[in-house]
A and B are shown apart, each in its own frame.
Chain A
Amino acid sequence: MQRPRIEVDSLDKSYGPVNALVNVTLQVGSGTVLGVLGHNGAGKTTLIDVLATRTRPTRGRAAVCGWDVVKSGHQVRKHIGMTGQFVALDDAMSGYANLVLIARLLGASTRQARARADELIDTFGLVEAADRRPVTYSGGMRRRLDLAASLIGRPEVLFLDEPTTGLDPISRSEVWTLVEKLAVDGTTVILTTQDLMEAERLANDIVVLAAGNIVASGTPEQLKAGLGQRTATVTFANPMAMYSAVAVFAGLGMSPVPNEALCSVNGSIPAPGDIATLVRALDAADLEIQNLTVTEPTLNDVYVALHRSGWKPG
């Protein structure tokens, strides 16, 4: 069995009296996108900083690609790429020169560095701007160049700290496509984000941090299923059928809520298979269904539920 690319065990990080991370334990495999969610100050960036060896944990252990982040920080840095919350480029050099510089520092020869920079400039649609300084770029272009810089060494683990903050919808979508492709190619991506839609689209696994603690973790489906809020809305041809259906819903324990204006009944669906059970029961009661809509809970619902629970682990 392949060893996880990232292993975190009972990790604590304190800044004086402030506990930024508390007993964090997680594992992330190859080709996985781990979404790290949480409000501002929840510990997301601290977790990335520890894993990227930019800060040391107070207690516990973390390893990236099998290398301990404290004992073998230099080895860890050989295998990672990082795009922080703020674009980290040299504004005194052109975008192209920035990429060449980073490639050279990673060990590429001058020829290789130039070839790689050309490749990434093409890839990220920055050909027109390549010879300009990043300070003249738009926010989206700067973010793309920053991402390109993180990918120069073809890292096995990529840390993206709120990578789409401030991007327009097109640029954001392009970053999403890139992350998906990277994951398919085997890169492990740790993605912190405030954008729940982004997490829902990209993340295979999710952890939710609050005050440095993991308060929820699992796949998006598991988190949403844990909320138990999948609902079915069935529309009928007449009010008589609607009222009959209420009894059927109730008989299946689906907490029916009739809507006389729409001539429909709304009920909770505990498990995906229960939809078929409902349809069969309505059919057996000779109630003609005009429309059936199943509404899944979103990560937003999960997040709101966690917030309402006072960020207590579920």
Chain B
Amino acid sequence: MSRHSADTRRRETSVLNQALAAAGPTRSGSRQQWRGTGFGTQVWVLTGRSVRTAFGDFKLVFFGLLQPVVLLLLFSQVFKSVGTLPGVVTYQSYINFLMPATLINVAMTTAMSSGIGLMAEVYTGFVGRLRAMPISMFAVLLARTLSDAIRLTVQLVVIVIAAVAFLGFRPGTVLGLTEALLLTVVVGWGVGWVFVAIVTWQRKAEVVQAISFIVMFPLMFASSAYMPVDSMPTWIRFLARGNPLTYAIDATRALALGRPVGWSIVWALSLVTATALLGGTAAARNFRRAS
């Protein structure tokens, strides 16, 4: 952002009295008043702000990118023997089976951080200022989830590059991989609304964290993420087949590895859309100006 040099404009605190006219409100026709802007601009400006914040902090960027790489490294080694199971052996190596699921896992982690990030803003009081401004509260939530989707995209690209370069992941086609990444971003964005809804419902950090983990772990582990569903105990298999993430993981895996997608992508997109609608509606309802 352009700004005059601080050196050339050094001024003392008492300058306030000399320049008060600038703060004045109404009488001069030349002094423009602004009375709000459209929903699209609100979302655009707030998304830009969140993206700049997310990528403006080196530590946040570094550890945010490192986390999925570490996850992938750990899972690919700890669960290596899973690669010999009947449902996995056709994928040539466990990393090929695991990688698409890790993408969804990263999406889930980022979705959870959407809620945590929103909570931080509520705590700083910045959201309180926005509540007294002529802007839509839904724009605040939408911007939050969109900026996290952008952050997720960057994370996914980094992890794919790392997996191809160091862990021997071999995607089917570039187009299929791109479609898998897009689907993952959509899934992350949709599920993010659930976590945002949780934050707008329960604003105590410890409670939110507890609920978020209760939501996240069963969804990830009772799914086709790390094991073929058929190799699971019966009751977990039943849960996994009803788990929306199973469809998202199956679709991502099929797209990324160039295998037949079937109906899993339709189920995945339908369930994500439903999740986003439900989560978004609940979040918007909870987050509206207090009654």
Contacts and interface: CB of A to CB of B under 8 A. Distances in A.
A107 B36 contact: yes
B1 A154 contact: no
Nearest to B16: A174
Given A77-B132, A125-B13, A55 B291 contact: yes
A125 B11 contact: yes
A79 B125 contact: no
B113 to A, nearest CB: 14
A182 B24 CA distance: 6
Nearest to B54: A92
A100 B23 contact: no
Q: How large is the interface on A (under 10, 10 to 19, 20 to 34, 35 or more residues)?
A: 35 or more
Contact of B125 (A81, A84, A159, A170): A84
Interface string A145-178: 0001101111110110000000000110010011
Contacts of A177: 16-17, 20
B134 A174 contact: no
Given A96-B1, A101-B49, A114-B1, A156 B25 contact: yes
A258 B210 CA distance: 73
Contact of A122 (B15, B36, B49, B53): B15
Contact of B31 (A54, A105, A154): A154
A19 B150 CA distance: 46
Contact of A91 (B20, B124, B132): B124
Contacts of B11: 122, 125, 127
A230 to B, nearest CB: 33
A61 interface: no
Contacts of B133: 77, 102, 105-106
User: B-side binding surface: helix, strand, loop or mixed?
Assistant: loop
Contacts of A96: 1, 3
Interface in B40-80: 41-42, 45-46, 49, 52-53, 56-57
B45 A153 contact: no
Q: How large is the interface on B (under 10, 10 to 19, 20 to 34, 35 or more residues)?
A: 35 or more
A278 interface: no
B289 interface: yes
B290 A54 contact: yes
Interface in B182-237: none
A81 B16 CA distance: 19
Query: Which of B14, B57, B132 has most chain A Cβ within 10 Å?
Result: B132
A127 B10 contact: yes
B81 interface: no
A56 to B, nearest CB: 5
Contacts of B2: 114
A36 interface: no
B290 A56 contact: yes
Given A105-B133, A123-B19, A187 B128 contact: no
A87 interface: yes
A107 B25 contact: no
A185 B24 contact: yes
Given A77-B133, A123-B16, A152 B34 contact: yes
Contacts of A82: 129, 132
A55 B34 contact: no
A88 B124 contact: yes
A241 interface: no
Contacts of B36: 74, 77-78, 105-107
A42 interface: no
Contacts of B166: none
The 7 A-B residue pairs with the shortest CB-CB distance in the complex, in nearest-first order: A88-B125, A185-B24, A106-B34, A88-B129, A107-B37, A78-B35, A125-B13
29 contacts: A54-B132, A55-B290, A75-B134, A80-B132, A84-B128, A89-B129, A90-B124, A91-B124, A92-B53, A92-B57, A93-B56, A104-B37, A105-B41, A105-B135, A106-B133, A106-B134, A125-B12, A130-B3, A154-B26, A155-B25, A155-B33, A174-B14, A181-B21, A182-B24, A185-B21, A186-B25, A186-B26, A186-B27, A187-B26
